[in-house]
Amino acid sequence: MVGNRNERLTQLLVKYRSNQLSSSEYEEFIMLLGAEGAQEAIDATARADWAEGGGFLDVADMASPKSLFPMVKWGMGLAASVLFFLCFYHYKNISQPEQKLLSFQTTYGETKRILLPDSSTVLLNANSSISWSTQWKQVGKREVNLKGEAFFDVRKMNGMQFVVQSGGMKVKVLGTVFNVRNRGEVTDVFLESGKVNLELDEGVKKTIAMVPGNKVHYDEQKRDMTLKKSSTLDKSASWVGGMLIFENATLADILNHFEDLYGKKFQVKNIELLQKRLDLSLPYADWELIRKAIEISLHVEFEENGNIVIVS
């Protein structure tokens, strides 16, 4: 009986080495590796491997019988351990489906409303992307990776956590409405309703609990975080309503925002203008109207050459 099992194991070892095992054969292979007498078949395969290694045999010829025996036993044991590890690794990859990502992205000036597989909704801002693991049910966690900006309306689901990974921050919720903006090394989170825990990895993990109306600004490079306790959707994520609202914002900050959203590169001839502060309410989707509003407010002209905008 043991002989038959070892013969079968040897056959599977041969097929393994040529990468010809099927899924069912992998399962049989793993089972036989743990059976009585399996080490004999493994050792026989290992001996064949060592016999093919000329360099090893040259060294073995120079060794005394006492020193050779431990060397061979150690070598065969190592081969068996590596072999078992590789088999288990490949078996795991076959028995567990490869994790795939569902991805969405927007171009400059584009927003997109997305219904996730768990029925949560995402409004994705321009020049942004998210990815979602299709294995979320199997792992018991809903996780989104965000680059750019998005507004989330998360559906509660049997206590299953929903996590947004963005920059150096994780936003953890069960069901809530919030906005996350990550541009460069700066992340802003605004909570409209529900509860959110922010997890920062600054060497030592730090968690911040947010309540509705809170806005958190985090600079990953400076490791600096500020919490504003009273904000509104219009002030923190006005784009969701189709508007871009700026209150007491410098022209430099406004133009940086336009670069993220529209892909424009601005060259301002009078650099003193960059520190001028403005209150503006502009329609998100109408670049021409935005351009005219800035020209009128600052008494300047925009000269566009492709994506380069010269302000004079």
Kindly report, residue by residue over 151-175, the tens digit of the pLDDT: 999 999 988 999 999 988 999 998 8
User: Within its chain, how far is the Cα of 277 from the centroid?
Assistant: 37
Residue 244 has pLDDT above 50, yes or no: yes
Query: pLDDT: is 209 or 34 the higher one?
Result: 209
- pLDDT score for 63: 39
Quote the pLDDT of residue 220: 86
> What are the tens digits of pLDDT across the range 55-82?
433 333 433 333 333 333 434 443 444 4
Neighbouring residues of 298: CB distance < 8 A, sequence distance ≥ 6: 251, 273, 276, 278, 311
Number of separate helices (H) and strands (E) present in the chain: 9, 18
Better-predicted residue by pLDDT, 66 or 99: 99
Has residue 310 got a pLDDT over 80?
yes
**Amino acid at the residue 185:** E
Is 160:140 a contact under the CB 8 Å cutoff? yes
The region of weakest confidence among 26-40, 146-160, 210-224 is 26-40
Percent of the chain having pLDDT more than 70? Answer: 71
Fold entry, domain 101-235:
Jelly Rolls (2.60.120)
Q: What's the rounded mean pLDDT across residues 170-184? A: 93
Output the pLDDT for position 77: 44
CA atoms within 13 A on the CB side of 163: 15
Class of domain 242-311: alpha beta
Instruction: Write down the pLDDT at residue 65.
Output: 39
Provide the percentage of residues in the chain whose pLDDT is more than 90.
55
pTM over 0.85: no
Amino acid 228: pLDDT? 92
Structure tokens at 151: 């507004």
Beta bridge partners of 267: 310
Q: How far apart are CA 68 and CA 61, in angstroms?
A: 9
Burial (0-12, 13-18, 19+ Cβ within 10 Å), 34: exposed
Does residue 107 surpass a pLDDT of 70? yes
Q: Does residue 119 carry a pLDDT above 80?
A: yes
pLDDT at residue 142, as a whole number: 94
Let me know: does 25 contact 15? Beta carbons within 8 Å: yes
Residue 212 CB-density burial (10 A; 0-12 exposed, 13-18 middle, 19+ buried):
middle
Q: Average of pLDDT values for 125-131?
A: 97
- Which residue, among 281, 258, 167, has the nearest Cα to 216 in the 3D structure? 167
Question: What's the pLDDT at 94?
Answer: 45
Please, which pLDDT band fits residue 41 given cuts at 50, 70 and 90?
Answer: low
Q: Give the model's pLDDT for residue 54.
A: 44
pLDDT at 31: 65
The pair of three-digit structure tokens given for residue 300, joined into one six-digit string:
């300047």
Q: Which residue has the higher pLDDT, 111 or 51?
A: 111
Q: Which residue has the higher pLDDT, 173 or 223?
A: 173
Find the mean pLDDT for residues 132-143: 90
Q: What is the 3-state secondary structure (H, E, C) of 118-171?
A: CCCEEEECCCCEEEEECCHHHHCCEEEEEEEEEEEECCCCCCCCEEEEECCEEE
Q: Who's near 104: CB < 8 A, 6+ residues apart?
A: 112, 114, 122, 124, 129, 130, 131
Handedness of CA 225, 231, 236, 237 (dihedral sign): positive
In this predicted structure, the answer to whether residue 213 has a pLDDT above a threshold of 90 is yes
Query: Measured in whole angstroms, how far is the alpha carbon of residue 87 from the centre of its chain?
Result: 29
pLDDT at 23: 57
Predicted pLDDT at 79: 45
Picking from 294, 297, 299, 274, the residue whose alpha carbon sits closest to that of residue 283 is 294
* Domain parsing of the chain, residue ranges: 2-95, 101-235, 242-311
- Identical fold, 101-235 and 242-311: no
Does the pLDDT value for residue 176 go beyond 60? yes
Which residues are CB-contacts of 176 (< 8 A; sequence separation ≥ 6)?
152, 154, 191, 192, 193, 194, 195, 196
pLDDT of 192 higher than 80? yes
Query: Computed from CA positions of residues 76, 78, 81, 83, in that sequence, does the dihedral angle turn out positive or negative?
Result: negative
Mean model confidence pLDDT for the chain: 80
